[in-house]
Structure 1
Amino acid sequence: MSNRQIKTDVILIGAGIMSATLGSLLKELAPDLEITVIERRANAGEESSNEWNNAGTGHSSLCELNYTVEQPDGSIDTKKATKVNEEYQVSKQFWSYLVNNNLIRNPRDFIVPVPHMSFVQGETDVTFLKKRYDALSNNPLFEGMEYSEDPEKLMEWIPLMMKNRTLNKRIAATRIETGTDVNFGALTRLMFAHLKSKNVNIKFNHDVDDVTRTSDGSWELKVRNVENGSVDRHTAKFVFIGGGGGSLHLLQKSGIPEGKGIGGFPVSGLFMVCKNPDVVSKHNAKVYGQASVGAPPMSVPHLDTRVIDKQESLFFGPFAGFTPKFLKYGSMFDLITSVKPHNLVTMLAAGVKNMSLTTYLIKEVMLSKEKRMEALREFVPDAKSEDWELLVAGQRVQIIRDTAEGKGTLRFGTEVISAADGSIAALLGASPGASTAVSVMLELIEKCFPQHVKEWEPKIKEMIPSYGASLLENPDLFQDIHNATAQALGLSENLPLNVARRTVS
């Protein structure tokens, strides 16, 4: 049994989009850093980042209704929508930098233009959508958004959804052409190929069994080769735990006080997928609706055009499910082993406060295919069961922690938990994670490498021209960046897809 001691500067746990982003940023900022990546699977991007495990939405709040909240006075709070949009612009700037400098190749391998739409039915939701449109349409980040209640206009936008629809209640939609479909799995693999060319040591089929602090302040990881069982000890001054749902267990093993009192609740996702070209050709948009009463925000229904390996398909969902696994390829004991004395009360409080969510998940698990088809027919009235198959997507572990809102609050989003000295950090949570990866990792760099930020700032601004500036408050800067990233990533309106777009008859 091997028991080597291996020293490096930085260890990244997990070969997903977050580690790929952090590693790529650090290699540009400090090329001499020795970086080791440890991944339990055989390849990069096999868990949540994989293209079949998420909806591929470039989350920029163009269509996600849950990012805008109606206030008691009837006004629409757009702060989260603006924040998420700005964060996605940051990601596109970094991806453009990688493409422009030939660090990754053809951007059409991971990003394509797809209009983003919101679609609602009924008086209440139509009124809300109109208010949302009015609140966003003058925001430079949402320039070009259109609104319509006209069935003929909607037939132009979403013919598959409008064909044979019974118009017995008000319907409305917003549409903006600058949306995107992102293959985060392909992007992750491209970035890791780049990192490998920069001599980053990537150890696939290796699992981290333990994380401990050494006497000199470094971190020692017990790393097991899952193929032959051999164990090595890796030490580094900085460790990033980016293992998706598996991050919580490793954060707990680190023992840092910042990780105390935090729990996780796993929610699995399922999509209905259509690959029939006759159906797929009649829809070209990501169309988001309103979540049903009692449904968690990650279960907002949407019908998505996807482009994976230059082939188009449609995703509908997600339908929520439950398994105690924290990773798609995880253990049935993940949930129970995450309960510790320091988070037991928090977890129990969350259970009591979220009985409606538990009931909802149980109902979702019990749904038959035909019941799922009924939900799909709210979007596509003519949907036929034989055209759609069920796909099990990735696991999401929602954060549970005590907040000002009370004990055991279930939080939806992405959070970085770091030690006070910045020597170790863990990423927890879910959507809009991948879309905002660059902003999240820049914040981590500011927290964990504060002594280098001033020195690195010129390079950061070269990669991210808007770094330190508000795009909302600098519309001219936003327009320049929007045009530059569209050109670099092949998103300009006059640039054709490499896949053949079929004409809707």
Structure 2
Amino acid sequence: MSNRQNQTEVILIGAGIMSATLGSLLKELVPYWRITVFERRGGAGEESSNEWNNAGTGHSSLCELNYTVEQPDGTIDISKAVKVNEEYQFSKQFWAHLVKSGRVPDPRDFIMPVPHMSFVQGERDVAFLKKRFEALSTNPLFPGMEFSDDPGKLKEWIPLMMKDRTVNQPIAATRIETGTDVNFGALTRILFKQLKDQNVDIHYNHQVKDIKRAADGLWEVKVKNLGNGMTERHAAKFVFIGGGGGSLHLLQKSGIPEGKGIGGFPVSGLFMVCKKPEIVQQHRAKVYGQAPVGAPPMSVPHLDTRVIDRKESLFFGPFAGFSPKFLKFGSMFDLITSVKLHNLTTMLAAGVKNFQLTKYLVQQLMLSKEQRIEALREFVPDAKGEDWELVVAGQRVQIIKDTAAGKGTLQFGTEVISAADGSIAALLGASPGASTAVSVMLEVIRRCFPQHLKEWEPKIKQMIPSYGLSLVQHPELIQDIHISTAEALGLGNRTH
């Protein structure tokens, strides 16, 4: 590029929760840096971060059974649960900092206290849940968790789920009052409003078409203005690709070797939603069950209280489906155009290994409304079809890569892919996603700005006191963090 008028320090691609978080962190650390954002939609948080496109769970492993795995010897591995919980504490600390500093005017606009529960049926799953409860209860990150296999107690906890239920097998639940419901769409919009007020240059209706490395080391970004059809060129020292499902294509265009051999598998989601106050008021919790055999981890069924624009509703799902689109507003050619020579064998291997998963997703897509209501009745026995509507949620692209587990392994989680020199990074993957945005973006900062870490660390620790520490090894800090974040975020005088 000969014209460097459009040069900036940082370009953020995608106006979702990840770019919002990275931009907010960088503006706290280096407020004088120039940051430019490109988003192809007309506003912030309109794809995966949108409140109607995800479950809104503040993922801290309080209820998600797939984060705790039973080992062959019968013990429960809680390592992933601990990791996700600690990462969510990062997010809560940063959000609390933004509230205290006036960046976020009212936390009730995006976060509300909602109990988190796990619910199981059958002797085997009840035994698993009890062992899980015992394993987590001894960990200081999970204070206040309760277990019950008494139907009478469960009627107090989840009256809607126990109403008209025939109890002909063992049932049990765990409950922890200090879970959260998070409106990530609202949070994303709040953060981008603040970034705009801090002179971040935000361009909506602008689609990034190409990314190339220039001879002088800067990244050149080719952008189409969807409003007037004009093509623009911008350059930056650092580029972050936070385009959700669209990130893989842009990573491939960058040509960095770290992006070679990686593929993506799209999974669509649907929820059943109830907005009737007389039903909604009978249930206040996020209740997670066990995933059906053959289902991907993100398809764990759950019945959730949601708070959107301060109005409560109930979500049940997700029902998985298959679409070749990588974004909800994407192209039917997204999957096929993501297949390159460098990832072809990886993608083929994944196709062979995951045939049953593909079959499951197609079967889910073919379900009728009545069949979905039947699945809902596992949670709400007297559910009626006319009380629930179907909402199409967002697309998630799961990473496919070669690992120690074999060629073409489907990865369930989020992963940062960055160039060796730290000049460009991309975020791929899905759950737990938004809940761990602060932790993931701190990882981006650690990888991509190592020369600044020593200078920035005091400020990071001011914002996030547990930064650089294992909370499990500092139980006294856990209590302080739980109290301070609950107070700042309006979550009540609680221990979590």
TM value normalised by structure 1 = 0.97
Asked if 2 retains the 8 angstrom alpha-carbon contact of 1:5 and 1:233, the reply is no
Once the two structures are TM-superposed, the CA of residue 65 in structure 1 deviates from its matched residue by 0.1
Q: Hey, what's the Cα distance between the residues in 2 that align with 1:363 and 1:233?
A: 44
Encode CA deviations 1:119-164: one digit per residue, 9 max, x unaligned. 0000110010001001001111111000000011000000000011
Asked if 2 retains the 8 angstrom alpha-carbon contact of 1:4 and 1:233, the reply is no
Q: What does residue 224 of structure 2 align with?
A: 224
Once the two structures are TM-superposed, the CA of residue 318 in structure 1 deviates from its matched residue by 0.1
Cα distance change, pair 368–4 in 1 and its aligned pair in 2 (3 A):
farther
Q: Which amino acid aligns with 2:206?
A: H
Q: Hey, what's the Cα distance between the residues in 2 that align with 1:481 and 1:325?
A: 40
Q: Which amino acid aligns with 2:188?
A: T
Aligned pair 1:308/2:308, yes or no? yes
Once the two structures are TM-superposed, the CA of residue 5 in structure 1 deviates from its matched residue by 5.0
Aligned positions of 1:201-350 closer than 5 A = 201-350=201-350
Q: Secondary structure of the equivalent of 2:270?
A: strand
Q: Hey, what's the Cα distance between the residues in 2 that align with 1:26 and 1:342?
A: 34
Q: Which amino acid aligns with 1:43?
A: G
Once the two structures are TM-superposed, the CA of residue 78 in structure 1 deviates from its matched residue by 0.3
Q: What does residue 30 of structure 1 align with?
A: 30
Q: Which amino acid aligns with 2:385?
A: S
Q: What does residue 387 of structure 1 align with?
A: 387
Q: Secondary structure of the equivalent of 2:487?
A: helix
Q: Hey, what's the Cα distance between the residues in 2 that align with 1:416 and 1:24?
A: 18
Aligned positions of 1:25-424 closer than 5 A = 25-424=25-424
Q: Secondary structure of the equivalent of 2:363?
A: helix
Q: Percent identity?
A: 78
Q: Hey, what's the Cα distance between the residues in 2 that align with 1:359 and 1:250?
A: 29
Encode CA deviations 1:189-208: one digit per residue, 9 max, x unaligned. 00000000000000000000
Q: Hey, what's the Cα distance between the residues in 1 that align with 2:435 and 2:235?
A: 31
Asked if 1 retains the 8 angstrom alpha-carbon contact of 2:208 and 2:224, the reply is yes
Q: What does residue 498 of structure 1 align with?
A: none
Asked if 1 retains the 8 angstrom alpha-carbon contact of 2:483 and 2:493, the reply is no
Encode CA deviations 1:387-437: one digit per residue, 9 max, x unaligned. 000000000000000000000000000000000000000000001010000
Q: Hey, what's the Cα distance between the residues in 1 that align with 2:466 and 2:166?
A: 47
Asked if 1 retains the 8 angstrom alpha-carbon contact of 2:487 and 2:493, the reply is no
Q: Secondary structure of the equivalent of 2:96?
A: helix
Encode CA deviations 1:51-102: one digit per residue, 9 max, x unaligned. 0000000000000000000000000000000000000000000000000000
Q: Hey, what's the Cα distance between the residues in 1 that align with 2:5 and 2:431?
A: 37
Asked if 2 retains the 8 angstrom alpha-carbon contact of 1:6 and 1:232, the reply is no
Q: Hey, what's the Cα distance between the residues in 2 that align with 1:26 and 1:227?
A: 29
Aligned pair 1:441/2:441, yes or no? yes
Q: Which amino acid aligns with 1:160?
A: L
Once the two structures are TM-superposed, the CA of residue 242 in structure 1 deviates from its matched residue by 0.1
Q: What does residue 497 of structure 1 align with?
A: none
Q: Hey, what's the Cα distance between the residues in 2 that align with 1:401 and 1:5?
A: 39
Q: Secondary structure of the equivalent of 2:279?
A: helix
TM value normalised by structure 2 = 0.99
Q: Secondary structure of the equivalent of 1:237?
A: strand
Asked if 2 retains the 8 angstrom alpha-carbon contact of 1:17 and 1:188, the reply is yes
Q: Secondary structure of the equivalent of 1:56?
A: coil
Runs (5+) with no aligned partner, structure 2: none
Encode CA deviations 1:207-250: one digit per residue, 9 max, x unaligned. 00100000011100001101111111100000000000000000
Q: Secondary structure of the equivalent of 1:284?
A: coil
Asked if 2 retains the 8 angstrom alpha-carbon contact of 1:4 and 1:231, the reply is no
RMSD after superposition: 0.8
Q: Hey, what's the Cα distance between the residues in 1 that align with 2:99 and 2:49?
A: 20
Q: Hey, what's the Cα distance between the residues in 2 that align with 1:117 and 1:269?
A: 22
Aligned pair 1:479/2:479, yes or no? yes
